[in-house]
A and B are shown apart, each in its own frame.
Chain A
């Protein structure tokens, strides 16, 4: 069992179906591609997408006015996400609900995927979370340029100078906003990656501990499930991190959209207040 667990450097992982496959067939080429080339995570990503596609296709196959159980679950999920995002952004958030809702369902499914024995969370890999962080970042900038125009976007980046003090502070506000914008995908991706990766390592270490405990009393196979409380903790962390990713993406889009009130001096404190969610 411990021999089949992945060991890259010293990061311990629970074995999954693909690592068991490469271990028991002793195929060096597959191991190099799947483990070191990280294609195992990509394959698990495709598996998640396939699962979600099949689930929601089955749920929407016969759209009855009195929904069956599967359609009810899907409708509940979609309705909750819609209410949540419109609750944060107001009615102007309607066009962004599909993207943000899909982001939440995708991240939640990927996080919970690793808790099923034999499967592995693709979000354990920094590349997966960084790709989502960069997508959100590019989408936010694209939304800004599309809704505000290029001049309005640069104006927003410069802190919306309206009076002399505003214009004098542009050399300060412009780099500050740029760095803040660049810090967003980094913080989004590292937060999700760190949380799920940490939980995965915790599960692997405690599983190994349970096996080692039984080996100390000379029982050759099996182990005490010491990782059981951490599986519940991992379920909570998965949901919370998916929610945080989606909520922060919603807030970033909301901040990029044109604000309603624009007093000259009022824009300064509003931007200072808005800069705080960007820094974490």
Chain B
């Protein structure tokens, strides 16, 4: 298996696996936020801000894998 084939297999798989972890994190955080908002509707604004910040942090980990694709892309030469 040469480098192009190995990278072509590994890079999208890596991004997908990172997305699984991020999806779980966002789901758990969203559930906590929704429950808190339902329990105290007057704090919805503050909870929303905190949730958005948490979403940005969880998304960052998938973005690291995504950036790796563009760094290693030059080895995918045909």
Q: Residues on A close to B: CB < 8 A?
A: 9-11, 187, 190-191, 193-195, 197-198, 240-241, 243-244, 247, 280
Q: Interface residues, chain B, CB within 8 Å of chain A?
A: 52-53, 55-57, 59-61, 63-64, 66-67, 70, 73-74
Partner of A194, one of B52, B55, B67, B73: B67
Contacts of B59 in A (CB 8 A): 195
**How many contacts A-B (CB < 8 Å)?**
44
List of A residues within 8 angstroms of B66 by Cβ: 194, 198
The secondary structure that dominates the B interface is helix
- If the complex has contacts A9-B73, A190-B67, are A195 and B60 also in contact, measured as CB distance less than 8 A? yes
Is there an interface contact between B55 and A240, defined as CB atoms closer than 8 Å?
yes
Besides A9-B70, A244-B53, 20 more A-B contacts (Cβ < 8 Å) are A9-B73, A9-B74, A10-B73, A11-B73, A187-B60, A190-B60, A190-B67, A191-B56, A191-B60, A191-B63, A195-B59, A195-B60, A195-B63, A198-B66, A240-B52, A240-B56, A243-B52, A243-B56, A244-B56, A280-B60
Contacts of A193 in B (CB 8 A): 67
A14 to B59, CA, bound (A): 24
> With a CB–CB cut-off of 8 A, which chain A residues contact B60?
187, 190-191, 194-195, 280
Q: Which of the residues A9, A11, A187, A243 comes within 8 Å of B53, measured between beta carbons?
A: A243
B56 CB contacts on chain A under 8 angstroms: 191, 195, 240-241, 243-244
List 28 A-B pairs, Cβ < 8 Å.
A9-B73, A10-B73, A11-B70, A11-B73, A190-B60, A190-B67, A191-B56, A191-B60, A191-B63, A191-B64, A193-B67, A194-B63, A194-B64, A194-B66, A194-B67, A195-B56, A195-B59, A195-B63, A198-B63, A240-B55, A241-B56, A243-B52, A243-B53, A243-B56, A247-B53, A280-B57, A280-B60, A280-B61
